Structure 1
């Protein structure tokens, strides 16, 4: 059966390819994945009859979900027309059942000792032995990942059951728990809340950021569950933290303020593993701070939210602070932002509470060290990847990665962030047709207010309700930073850098790439006006 695909916009940096079934998702994703090495090998690809150079312009993300494949790309290197042409061409050549057969089979050892095993069997009208036998005998395929890094949604033609989720989700599901929900099975790679019915445990390492393939269960992989004779006490290892603490420290945190984390430019390319992009919310401010102290623009820095940060230098340092504006002192001596300064050993740096903006970036010459996870030192507050949130007593390692001399001071235009009212540009979203025409007008004609529910994961906006034209449930699909999801309340939430890579609320629009940094400086109470993005 040939795959029919509907191409939907997901902002200005992604396309959502929608098909009719999960089987078609598997086939399309496999075909697109298989085409990437061909693109890289030949350096060109015919898209819409036009030969284009693709050797350095391949899509950066392929994220399968329940009925869609998200294709993210860099519009500076490949136009959206070429991306859409490539997807349509590959879909026209693919067919259900075309998924590669050479994929290795992954064996997952399990002990069927889950707390919901007996109740689930009774719910399905079978005995425990029959449930275990069917689960173990089935050949499973990882359809997609999401929810948490390394969490795979597994499906099987051999599995006939549709298992309802728990009416009241658990607040804590242990690492290694194996559960059932709907037609899926899956194993939890880290401790997290969850509503799946738990039937088993595994001691398999489900996510190892140091490995060449960090996730054990990747989209398209074939999986068998093998009954183990182990105790059933899961020892599956979640991601290590990449803690920057070291005996040879650059500075020691005295007070972290509201929130202080290590950030660089994030982890692009890992969304198919369920890993968010993460990284600095105000990327322009991070780049500026690094340039001021002679670092490469992508060096790790400290992102300070709302201020209140204090630290003492453990060695002589150069530093710079950019982004949000507030009083900055070294041993009570005021210093200017957006300039490089000496931070003598033993002196205390204080970033007081910010008067304007929400996030400042503290760069030290050489960058912040610590282990990189998936090529990034960023803290992901949703998944737990990367260093822990900074706390009093945290000693920050130097990276020793200065790229050039500290530039001479120059007068450059800068000022306090505008955080009273922001004008944010929106690109089209894939589910705009799920909303009434009145909702579309309301979105752009209203003044929205940033609520207190705003963090690195997302930002909830308060304002009038956006009425839905469709009220049915949306299967999970790939998300991008800036997606405006609209939950049943009708008030949009903007997903940010640590937001989940898949979601089940319709996306009415997506913040254009050029406006994302502006949102990083929005504070609770900031007014937001939404505008149509200008054509590129």
Structure 2
């Protein structure tokens, strides 16, 4: 068992094989200081609380646990009907040295079982007893894989729960719903489930029991977390008053989301913590208006216009730009960054294009009241959990309870402008040994530019010199933390943000320290950055 540094708050433990990795994951439940465990094909990622246990102490504790008595779970059986017409079926058969007919027959005959979950909610890594199935990923991943695609990669079969990018070999499709938050458990292919694939010639009728590209049932009109949109005036609107406090979207930004502190603790279901990209801005905004620090807020990439219904108190933190409030008579007054301000019915808040930073955070006293998914109101853009992105006309109710008095003072904060050079602190590992000495030197010596191909899943970086590998081939899927620096085959890193996949197959050369994560969430395209390796004792 080899224990590697994954970040300043996570260790990656290598096991001999998949079976040992599963036993380690089970045996370590309840180890003091452990926050979450993410099993992989031959590893377990262990996130810990550095205030409760050090990395050295945790490594010692993990190594001392007896895994011989750990019993793998039995989660029953799932039947997955498949139409074997995938785009890569012929290529996968060629790679395995068999006919397409034999591939299908052996896929149907094998004993399959879900080993672990990852990548996205409901995505189970299903392994079989048949040694035939060991298929390399595609050399060039697809940017769009349809929901319900049945695919092969390495020794695993997986079914994409919703439309997403992916590099697995597509051999078929199913109409089975992989993820339904109202089901117990939500994942059809939960760890420990025995899986039987069933050959069908036709897919189910559209809209009945199948997933659309968002992973939701086609015959389900309203799902948990959806924000009610209102476009027509009610009788109360016509009379000039509101019965309930709310925030209405007049003009959305490039991306306007509801966020809170996230939903940690669901890695076993393939669900990442998600939550606000800038945790400090979330806490500052909520403190300013007297909310609990984890209350739901709006996170806006760039400028937007919001209208307040009813009287209240609001505050804007995060990105720095021009802020103004316009009342129903047309009078305009400026709003100070980070300072709470009173609102009355009909006031419109205008957020200008940020001069510094990328994401505004807007808190309203009482917090935003939208339906929770797995205990959180955060919008996870990769998983499709929580409220959808807000559009013009969306109305978000405001809660009626705030825990604390408003705090009028805000501490100043430096955020980057597009022309700036930003330094981010990192730890190396867990896969820095997959890269040449020159690549490790380049990682910290070279400036990297934040490209426009960035979102809440990850920041795509570009450097003049790509990072060169010392080792070729594929890495079995393993866990990744927020802030991980993953390196695809082109050598240009991707910096993971809160909505990143829990597992992946590209090597991770390093990861941001916890204190650098909030700044990473505020990096606009065009910013240059340099990585600084954290000194360890």
The question of a shared fold, defined as TM-score above 0.5 by the shorter chain, is answered with: yes
The Cα shift of 1:359 comes to: 1.1
Contact 2:482 2:500 in 1 (8 A): yes
Q: How does 1:166-185 map to 2 (within 5 A)?
A: 173-185=145-157
User: Which residue of structure 2 aligns with residue 160 of structure 1?
Assistant: 132
User: Which residue of structure 2 aligns with residue 150 of structure 1?
Assistant: 122
Contact 1:484 1:492 in 2 (8 A): yes
More deviation, 499-508/286-295: 499-508
User: Which residue of structure 2 aligns with residue 399 of structure 1?
Assistant: 399
Contact 1:265 1:298 in 2 (8 A): yes
Q: Quick one: structure 1 residues 125 and 503, their matched pair in 2 at CA, closer, same or farther if it must change by over 3 Å?
A: closer
Work out whether 1:18 is the aligned partner of 2:1: no
User: Which residue of structure 2 aligns with residue 48 of structure 1?
Assistant: none
The Cα shift of 1:485 comes to: 1.4
CA–CA distance in 1 between the matches of 2:279 and 2:139?
41
Q: How does 1:228-239 map to 2 (within 5 A)?
A: 232-233=204-205, 235-237=209-211, 238=215
CA–CA distance in 2 between the matches of 1:352 and 1:151?
39
The Cα shift of 1:280 comes to: 0.9
The Cα shift of 1:350 comes to: 0.3
CA–CA distance in 1 between the matches of 2:136 and 2:435?
28
CA–CA distance in 2 between the matches of 1:421 and 1:347?
38
User: Which residue of structure 2 aligns with residue 317 of structure 1?
Assistant: 312
Q: Quick one: structure 1 residues 181 and 511, their matched pair in 2 at CA, closer, same or farther if it must change by over 3 Å?
A: closer
Contact 1:251 1:396 in 2 (8 A): yes
Contact 2:422 2:527 in 1 (8 A): yes
Q: How does 1:357-368 map to 2 (within 5 A)?
A: 357-368=357-368
User: Which residue of structure 2 aligns with residue 414 of structure 1?
Assistant: 412
Contact 2:149 2:170 in 1 (8 A): no
CA–CA distance in 2 between the matches of 1:445 and 1:231?
54
The Cα offsets for residues 451-483 of structure 1, whole Å up to 9 and x where unpaired, read as: 222221111233233332223322221111111
More deviation, 289-298/113-122: 113-122
Contact 2:174 2:203 in 1 (8 A): no
CA–CA distance in 1 between the matches of 2:4 and 2:141?
33
CA–CA distance in 2 between the matches of 1:211 and 1:461?
39
SS at match of 2:122: strand
SS at match of 1:453: coil
The count of residues paired between Structure 1 and Structure 2 equals 502
The Cα offsets for residues 126-180 of structure 1, whole Å up to 9 and x where unpaired, read as: 574x655544443322122223211111001146333566788666554434344
Contact 1:14 1:72 in 2 (8 A): yes
CA–CA distance in 2 between the matches of 1:161 and 1:61?
30
Q: Quick one: structure 1 residues 21 and 266, their matched pair in 2 at CA, closer, same or farther if it must change by over 3 Å?
A: same
CA–CA distance in 2 between the matches of 1:121 and 1:381?
30
What residue ranges of structure 2 are gaps of 5+ in the alignment? 217-222, 231-243, 327-331
Contact 2:84 2:104 in 1 (8 A): no
CA–CA distance in 1 between the matches of 2:504 and 2:412?
37
Contact 1:108 1:202 in 2 (8 A): no
CA–CA distance in 2 between the matches of 1:183 and 1:303?
40
CA–CA distance in 1 between the matches of 2:47 and 2:130?
33
More deviation, 192-201/271-280: 192-201
Work out whether 1:456 is the aligned partner of 2:429: no
User: Which residue of structure 1 aligns with residue 233 of structure 2?
Assistant: none
The Cα shift of 1:527 comes to: 2.5
Of 236, 250, 253, the match for 1:254: 250
The Cα offsets for residues 301-332 of structure 1, whole Å up to 9 and x where unpaired, read as: 011112x2101112112100011111101113
User: Which residue of structure 2 aligns with residue 198 of structure 1?
Assistant: 171
User: Which residue of structure 2 aligns with residue 525 of structure 1?
Assistant: 526
Work out whether 1:105 is the aligned partner of 2:103: no
User: Which residue of structure 1 aligns with residue 493 of structure 2?
Assistant: 492
More deviation, 234-243/268-277: 234-243
Q: How does 1:282-431 map to 2 (within 5 A)?
A: 282-306=278-302, 308-331=303-326, 332-407=332-407, 409-410=408-409, 412-419=410-417, 420-431=420-431
SS at match of 2:444: helix
User: Which residue of structure 1 aligns with residue 55 of structure 2?
Assistant: 80
CA–CA distance in 1 between the matches of 2:520 and 2:347?
33
SS at match of 2:61: helix
The Cα offsets for residues 218-237 of structure 1, whole Å up to 9 and x where unpaired, read as: 23333334668996457245
The Cα offsets for residues 190-218 of structure 1, whole Å up to 9 and x where unpaired, read as: 23355433335243x42122445332322
Contact 2:431 2:508 in 1 (8 A): yes
Work out whether 1:222 is the aligned partner of 2:194: yes
What residue ranges of structure 1 are gaps of 5+ in the alignment? 40-53
The Cα offsets for residues 81-104 of structure 1, whole Å up to 9 and x where unpaired, read as: 2321222123xx335xx6625623
Q: Quick one: structure 1 residues 125 and 473, their matched pair in 2 at CA, closer, same or farther if it must change by over 3 Å?
A: closer
Contact 1:244 1:368 in 2 (8 A): no
